[in-house]
Structure 1
Amino acid sequence: MDIGAEQLQTGLNMASKVKLSPTQLPRLYNILPPICEQLEIKEPEFYLEMNPAPNAYAFGDTQTAITITSALVDMMSEEELIGVVAHECGHIACRHMLYHTLAQIIANASGMFETLAKLAVPIHYALMYWQRKSELSCDRAAAYIVGPKATASMLARLAGGPKSITSELNLEELAEQADLYDAFCKNGLWNKTLQTYAVMDQDHPFTSVRVREMLKWVESEDYQNMVKNNPVCPHCHKAIDASWKFCQHCGHKL
C-alpha cells in the first residue's frame, strides 16, 4: 500500500542533498551507469549527502534512489566506492527495498504507539533477520561488479577505518575472525545468548562474517560461471567481449 513514504523521501532528497548527474560532480555520477547496465536495472537517482559518518543506502521500490555520504567518498578508493554503489544497486535489482521500507515504517510507528509496538516486535525481528541476509546477497553483487578483493577491502574499511590506516590489512585473516566468532558463540549457551541479543536488532551482519561469506561465494561454481559468461573490464567495469585484448570502452589492456 502506498502511504507516501517514497514521495516523502524523494522530496527530502531533492531539497537537502546534491543530486549527481553527468554535469554535477560527474566523477562520482559516472560510477553508476555501468553498474546499472551490468545488473540490468533502471538507473536510480543518485545523491551525495554531507555526513561525517561513512554510509550509503538505497531507498524506494518504484522511485529508487541511492545516497552516498561525503565521509564515505573520502574513505574509499575509487574501486571500493564502485563496490559500495554496486552493493546498493544489488538491493534495487533484488527488489529488497519494499521490505526495507516496511521495516523502517514498523520501527517508526512502533515508537509512536505502545500497543502497536508490542504487536510488531516479532515482525520487526523477522524483518531484521531477513535484512541481514539481504546484505550478504548484495555483497555478492559488489563482488560480481568490482571483484572479490575490492569488495573485501571495501568492507574492511567499514570495520577498521580509512586506507591510511588499513592499507596493509590482511583480508584473509579478517575473514578468519568470523570462524573464531562462530567458535566463540558455540562455546557455551551464555555466549550464544549474548551474541544473539547483540545481533538481533542489527540491519547488517557483522563485518568479518560479511567478508568470509563473500569470499566463500566467489569460490563457488555459480560465481565462476557468472564471471565467465558475463566478463567486465576491471578498470571501467563495463561489459566486454572475452576476445578483446583492450577494452573498447576505456582503452585499458585486458
Structure 2
Amino acid sequence: MNMVKTGMLLAAMTALFMGIGFMLGGEAGMLLALLFAGGMNLFAYWNSDKMVLRMYGAREVDEAAAPEYVRIVRQLAANANLPMPRTFIIETDQPNAFATGRNPENAAVAATTGLIRMLSPEELAGVMAHELAHIKNRDTLIMTVTATIAGAISMLANFALFFGGNRNNPLGIVGVILMMILAPLAAALVQMAISRTREYSADAGGAEICGRPQWLASALKKIEQGASRIDNEPAEANPATAHMFIINPLHAHKRDSLFSTHPATANRVAKLMEMAGLGQSAPGRPWG
C-alpha cells in the first residue's frame, strides 16, 4: 500500500510539472518540461549520492578507522540480504544519519560523529538498520527523484513571470502569481507526504533487520533531543536534503503536521514499541 501511495504521489508531482509547462508554452512547453525533468532525474540518478556526501564533507571509513560502526553495518547488511554499502562518517556533533545511492549495489550509509558517540551499540544498530531498510526499499532513489522534480517545479514556477501573457494562462498576471506561489507549495507537500510514508516503512523494516524494535525507538528519542539543540550547519544551508536524515536536522521541525518532512518521533516510537509488544521481531544480537 505504501508503494501504491508513493507511486500516486510521484505521478501527481510529474503531472504538476507538466501542467506548469503547458501553461507556460502549451503542448510544446509540456513536452519540454517532461524532457527537462527526465534529464534532471537522469543526472540525479548517477550523481546524487556523490553530491550529497560531498555537501556534508562525509569521509569514507573502514573497519580499521571505525571498527564497531562498520562491523554493525556489515552484519546488518547480511541480515537484510543486502550488499555491504560504503560507510561514511560526517563530522558534526548533531546525532543523525542517512542513506543514499541509486540502488542496493551502489549504496552508502552515513552517520555523524555525534550519533556514534551518543548511542549505545544496540541503538546504533537500530539506526543503521533503518537506513538499510531505506536502501532495501529503494527509498533513496525515490527521494532523489522527488527532490529533483520539486526543485525543477520551483525553478519553472519562477520563470512564469516572463511568460504571463501566454494564451494557456487565461488569468494573466494573477495566474502567474498564483502559479509562483502554489506550484512550489504543492510540490513541497507531495515531497513531504512521500518522505513521511517512507519513514514509517523504514522504521518497520529496520526493526525487522536488527531484531529489536525498542533499540530503534530508544535511538529516535535520543536523536530528536540532540537534533533539537545542536546545529547541523550544512543541513541548515541545504534544507532540501533534510528529508534524507532519520530525524529532521532543522530546528524548525516541531510537530507531526502536513508541512513536516518526518512523522512525529513520538508516533514512530509508539509504533515501534507496539511491534516489540506483539513480538514482531527476531531475537538475538545482530552482530558478533
Contact 1:83–1:154 (Cα < 8 Å) also in 2:
yes
Report deviation, 1:81: 0.9
Aligned twin of 1:153: 218
Contact 1:136–1:214 (Cα < 8 Å) also in 2:
no
Aligned twin of 1:43: 84
Could you say if the C-alpha distance between residues 149 and 61 of structure 1 is closer, same or farther in structure 2, counting changes exceeding 3 Å?
Answer: same
Higher relative contact order (CA 8 A, sep 6+): 2
Corresponding letter in the other structure for 1:75: M
Aligned twin of 1:80: 123
Q: Structure 1 CA distance, aligned partners of 2:195 and 2:52?
A: 24
Aligned match for 2:271, one of 200, 213, 222: 213
Could you say if the C-alpha distance between residues 5 and 95 of structure 1 is closer, same or farther in structure 2, counting changes exceeding 3 Å?
Answer: closer
Equivalent residues, number: 196
Q: Structure 2 CA distance, aligned partners of 1:126 and 1:8?
A: 20
Could you say if the C-alpha distance between residues 146 and 129 of structure 1 is closer, same or farther in structure 2, counting changes exceeding 3 Å?
Answer: same
Question: Could you tell me the percent identity over the aligned residues?
Answer: 24
- 1:26-68 Cα distance to aligned partner (Å, 9 max, x none): 2221111111111111222110011232211111223311111
Report deviation, 1:105: 1.6
Aligned twin of 1:105: 148
Aligned twin of 2:43: 3
Q: Which moved more, 1:108-117 or 1:38-47?
A: 108-117
Aligned twin of 2:18: none
Corresponding letter in the other structure for 2:66: L
Q: Structure 2 CA distance, aligned partners of 1:88 and 1:8?
A: 17
Q: Structure 2 CA distance, aligned partners of 1:155 and 1:31?
A: 18
Could you say if the C-alpha distance between residues 6 and 51 of structure 1 is closer, same or farther in structure 2, counting changes exceeding 3 Å?
Answer: farther
Aligned match for 1:32, one of 48, 61, 73: 73
2:102 matched to 1:54? no
Q: Structure 1 CA distance, aligned partners of 2:113 and 2:121?
A: 14
- What are the equivalent positions in structure 2 for 1:158-177 lying under 5 Å apart? 158-161=223-226
Could you say if the C-alpha distance between residues 152 and 119 of structure 1 is closer, same or farther in structure 2, counting changes exceeding 3 Å?
Answer: same
Could you say if the C-alpha distance between residues 4 and 141 of structure 1 is closer, same or farther in structure 2, counting changes exceeding 3 Å?
Answer: closer
Contact 2:203–2:268 (Cα < 8 Å) also in 1:
yes
Q: Structure 2 CA distance, aligned partners of 1:19 and 1:28?
A: 12
Q: Structure 2 CA distance, aligned partners of 1:132 and 1:217?
A: 19
Corresponding letter in the other structure for 1:153: S
Q: Structure 2 CA distance, aligned partners of 1:81 and 1:36?
A: 14
Contact 1:106–1:120 (Cα < 8 Å) also in 2:
no
Give 5+ residue unaligned stretches, structure 1. 163-196, 239-249
